[in-house]
Amino acid sequence: MYNPQLNNDGTLKHLLSIEGLPKKTLLQILDTAESFVGVAERDVKKVPLLRGKTVCNIFFENSTRTRTTFEIAAKRLSADVINLNVNTSSQSKGEAILDTINNLIAMHTDMFVVRHNQSGAAHLIAQHVPDNISVVNAGDGRHSHPTQGLLDVFTIRRYKPEMHNLRVALVGDILHSRVARSEIHALTTLGVPEVRVIAPKTLLPNEVEKLGVHVFHDMEAGLKDVDVVMMLRLQNERMSGAMLPSTQEFFKTYGLTPEKLSLAKPDAIVMHPGPMNRGVEIDSRVADSSQAVILPQVTYGIAIRMAAMAILAGGAA
C-alpha cells in the first residue's frame, strides 16, 4: 500500500500522522530523541546537523507553544527558521495554500512544518512538494498531531519504561482532539496493553472502540489503578452547539481533582498537552503536584521535534 510518509526503502519521508508508521519508525524517533535531550544541557545548545538548511514553520492556525518548540528544535539543529502565520479566513482554500507553498519552494525551503485547521492540509502539501522537501504535520484539524503523540509516549517511556505493563487513561474531549487519536495510535503500536478513554458520550467519536480502547463514561471507574492519566484540553473553539451543559458541570464530572487522582496508582503520572484550562479539566492542586509531568512534556517536545526533523533531513538527501 502506498504510504506518503515513507520512502520506497521504508525510511521516513514526511511526518504526517502516527497512523501508518511502523513500530520500528516510532522507536527510531523515540531513541533518536534520547540523544537530543542532553543537547539542551550543554554549553553550546546546538548540534550542526541541519546547518545550511531552511525550515519554514507555516501556521495557518495559531499555536504559540507548538510553533515555538518547532522553532527552538530547528534552531538547536542549526537550521535557519522562517515563521509564517497565515490567516486563512481571507483566502479561498486549496489553491491558495499551494500558491503560498510554491513561493516558499522558490525560496529554497528544505522543510515545511505545517499547522492548519483543516484535516489533510499537511498531506496535500506533502503530495505537492518536490522530492527533496520534507513536510512535518504540526496539527491538522481534528485529524492528527504526530509530534504531540510522540512526545507524550516519549514522556511516558521516560517515567514508566515498562510500556508492556501499563494502563493509560485519556480523559476529556476525545472528539475534538487530534492529540488523542495520535496518542491512541502511538500507545497501541508501542504495545501498551490497556488504553482507556474517559469522556461523556457527546465528546467521544463514533465507534471509538474500533481504535482498540476501553470506553468509560465515569471517572471513578475509569481512573482505577491506571499508571498514566492524560488529560485533554476542552476545545471550546472547536465546539459548536450545546455539547456540554457548562464548564463548571464538566469540571465536576470530568475535572481531575486530587480526590479522583487518588483512585489511580499512587505513582501515576499526570499529563496534559497544554494549554491547560485550570478549573475546567484539571484542578490546580493536581496541575502543580509532584505527579504532574506537564512541563517535562514541553521539554521533551523539543527533543522529539529535533529527532523527527533530523531523521527527515537525513533521509531526504
Partner 1 sequence: MQLPDPENLLATLTTKVSDVIQPNSAIIGIHSGGVWIMERILASLKQDLPHGTLDAALYRDDFSQRGLKDALQPANIPFDVKDKHIILIDDIFYTGRTTRAAINELFDFGRPASITLAVLINRGGAELPIQPQLIGAEIKLNADQRFQLSRNTQGKLTLALEQKQGSDHV
Instruction: Give the footprint of partner 1 on this chain (CB under 8 A).
Output: 11, 28, 31-32, 34-35, 37-39, 42-44, 46-49, 310-311, 313-315, 317
* Shortest Å, Cβ 315 to partner 1: 5
Task: With beta carbons less than 8 A apart as the criterion, state whether 19 and 185 touch.
Answer: yes
* Shortest Å, Cβ 228 to partner 1: 24
* Shortest Å, Cβ 74 to partner 1: 14
* Shortest Å, Cβ 24 to partner 1: 9
* Shortest Å, Cβ 50 to partner 1: 9
**Through-space distance between the first and last CA atoms of the chain, rounded to whole angstroms:** 23
If 0-12 CB within 10 Å is exposed, 13-18 middle and 19+ buried, where does residue 14 land?
buried
Instruction: Kindly state the DSSP code that residue 3 receives in the 8-state scheme.
Output: -
Nearer to partner 1, 52 or 266 (CB): 52
Q: How far is residue 298's CA from residue 228's CA, in Å, rounded to a whole number?
A: 17
Whats the size of the chain, residue-wise?
317
Coil vs helix vs strand at 150: helix
Nearer to partner 1, 49 or 163 (CB): 49
Listed in sequence order, the residues at least 6 apart from 107 whose beta carbon sits closer than 8 Å to its beta carbon are 54
Task: With beta carbons less than 8 A apart as the criterion, state whether 191 and 153 touch.
Answer: no
List the one residue out of 193, 250, 254, 202 whose CA is nearest residue 223: 254
* Shortest Å, Cβ 46 to partner 1: 7
Nearer to partner 1, 198 or 307 (CB): 307
Task: With beta carbons less than 8 A apart as the criterion, state whether 50 and 74 touch.
Answer: yes
List the one residue out of 92, 93, 83 whose CA is nearest residue 62: 83
Q: How far is residue 133's CA from residue 252's CA, in Å, rounded to a whole number?
A: 48
